A and B are shown apart, each in its own frame.
Chain A
Amino acid sequence: MTTAPSFPRPAVSGPGASPDPAAGTPAAQGPPPPPPHLPRGTGRGPRRRWARAVLVAALVLATVAFVYPLLWLLSASFKPRAEVFDNRLVPRTFTLDNYVTVWQEAPLALWLGNTVVVTVLAAGLVTVSSALVAWGFAFFRFRGRGPLFGLVLATMMLPGAVTMIPTFLIWNQLGLVGTNVPLWAGNLFASAFYVFLLRQFFLGLPREPFEAARLDGANNWQMFWRIAVPLCRPALVLTLLFEAQASWTDLMRPLIYLQDSSTFTIPRGLKALIDQFGPGGESQWEIVVTASVITTLPMILLFFVGQRHFVEGVATTGSKG
């Protein structure tokens, strides 16, 4: 949140933003005059300490609820089949067999490799293309810019389900169904959400360095690449991280586009393992559990690497809505 105050808050026209500052309604929602005599605790000291204790207890309880399932999963992956459901946090019998079995049962290395390729391409391409487009909207003035940017924002409201089938037919026409190209190639063309996010950052840049560079004979490309991009590195990292997460965890598009097990990404592979070993299958939960850990762990690592970016990034997305 250290970066938040430096963002300008421009009046965004488009769906999702309904500026209504002039209306008298907010007043009705504002703090009403409180009744004159509300009872109030006097003994501040002990009361505050109690309140503090309740607060800490609630926070700890919530933390347990949030973190425990992940620890449960990790712990279960080290248990033999009979003990998977014993709900003990520390395995009674510690074994690495599940990892060996999963590795033998499924082409995990291949799946992980596929996912890394798709994730890197998807995140890299969407960051570059969205930065270009965002810069086009942030730096230049031209007639029709407002409506055009409104159109960008409008596409954010479009449910993915509407374009899902024609998009599939396009890739089918190109003979690329069955390859991982449809999982990342769309990212060559920028994504409205990131364009919006990056434009906000670009708008926050001072104009002087660019005027100076222009006087020195720099062209538009040099101004973008040499000045704007380095200055907005945190926003670009944020875009990379967000898209890496979205791409790594996506199940729907791999379900649509990938048929052969050798092309699977890791979530698609995990789904195949659930089908084979989960409910209705052979009920070998330890395999499903272990594969889930392998699918999830890279994301947890990604989070701890980019923790600050994630938390601040999510915080800013809300304030722009």
Chain B
Amino acid sequence: MTTADVVPTLPTPPAAGGTGTQPPARRRARPSPTERRERNAALRFISPWIVGFLVFTAWPIVYSAYLSLTDYDVINDPTFVGLENYREMAQDPKVALSLWNTLVYTAVQVPLYTVVALALALLLNQAGRSAGFFRTAFFVPKMTPPVAVGVLLLLLFNGQYGIVNEVLSWFGVQGPSWTTDQDWIKPGLVLISLWTVGAAVIILLAALRNVPNDLYDAARVDGAGFWRRTRAVTVPMISGALFFVVVVNTIAGFQMFTEAYSAYFGAGNSTYRNDAALFYVIYLFQEGFQELHMGYASALAWLLFVVIMLVTLVQLLVSRRLVYYEGEQR
């Protein structure tokens, strides 16, 4: 039923695997008519994905690798320039800037987002019967289209009239110009991203509810207080879900586009500085689809791909040490 179940029953070709010690193959090496019929039926069902994979994944990967070695403006044929695009990237200040912006944003947003999601999930887990209502309330912002989230960012975080600064002023704090001060644009984007934390809260809450109660009882008997129980029981027991939230958000953070683009870029926004909101995918989009530097943009895409893969790989390696999966779950 799963990969693990299938592999052992695969027939071994007698010619290759005929080392007397092996048990006799249960089936013949050649697929029987039944097996062939089964396989063909499966392939018919799977064929939409196979076609899509070849046309919209495999080919684009190969082709974008080639394009990254060319100059291409869509109108004229691509001209081969070798590694020129990559050399140019190394000197392009906007590559460094957008990469920096993206790294800073992701490095701040992901931990904060995860901690807030965990805190809210812990609250909900204590809420008893009313959890359903609050869970709904927390999730609703997630339905807001990101382009409208960008609008909300500009309005709520407006330095002069915004409600965020009004609330801050109740406590005697003079809020910054969130949307125009270059130092405060990214913090504003991070904060508004916390508004759509609802989905992660639900994921973590589901994980919390799977933690066996006797673990808490045992911890309580041993005299562990709330914080101690959270640190020693809860976090390890839901580390799988936490890891999922971290990985998914990191990948999303590196591809941050819509909220920042909606608020700070576009036809009307060329009049004031938006350097602090120039995220990598925004720069990629500008180069590819506004400047029509398709070759250069492909090279940019490859750098992003490599960065995301490396970061995900590191996270996977770290998770092997930190993440606890229950035996029966895996």
Contacts and interface: CB of A to CB of B under 8 A. Distances in A.
A and B held together in a complex:
yes
Contacts of A12: 2-3
A23 B56 contact: no
Contacts of B262: 251, 271, 274
A105 B179 CA distance: 26
B327 interface: yes
A157 B3 contact: no
Contact of B330 (A21, A37, A166, A289): A21
A210 interface: no
Interface in A265-321: 267, 270-272, 274-276, 278-281, 285, 288-289, 292, 295-296, 299-300, 302-303, 307, 310-311, 314-319, 321
Given A164-B301, A165-B67, A224 B45 contact: yes
Interface string B179-206: 1000000000000000100110011111
Contacts of B195: 65-66, 69
B138 A145 contact: no
A118 interface: no
Given A38-B225, A318-B207, A288 B151 contact: yes
A69 B198 CA distance: 14
B254 A159 contact: yes
Interface residues of A, number: 126
Interface residues of B, number: 136
Given A37-B223, A72-B163, A189-B56, A280 B269 contact: yes
Interface in A130-155: 132-133, 135-137, 139-143, 145-146, 148-152, 155
Contacts of B320: 18, 20, 23, 25
Interface string A154-188: 01011111111111111010000000000000101
Nearest to A311: B202
B315 to A, nearest CB: 10
Contacts of A299: 143-145
5 contacts: A35-B223, A152-B53, A245-B143, A251-B145, A321-B243
Q: Which 6 A-B residue pairings sit nearest by Cβ, starting from the closest? A: A189-B52, A136-B45, A318-B203, A321-B244, A146-B3, A140-B42
Interface of B: 1-4, 6-7, 10, 31, 35, 38-39, 41-46, 48-49, 51-53, 55-57, 59-61, 63-64, 67, 74, 120, 123-124, 126-127, 130, 134-141, 143-148, 150-152, 154-156, 158, 161-163, 166, 179, 195, 198-199, 202-207, 209-210, 215, 218-219, 222-225, 228, 232-233, 236, 239-241, 243-245, 247-248, 251, 254-255, 257-258, 261-262, 266-272, 281, 284-285, 288-289, 294, 297-298, 301-302, 304-305, 308-309, 312, 316, 319-330
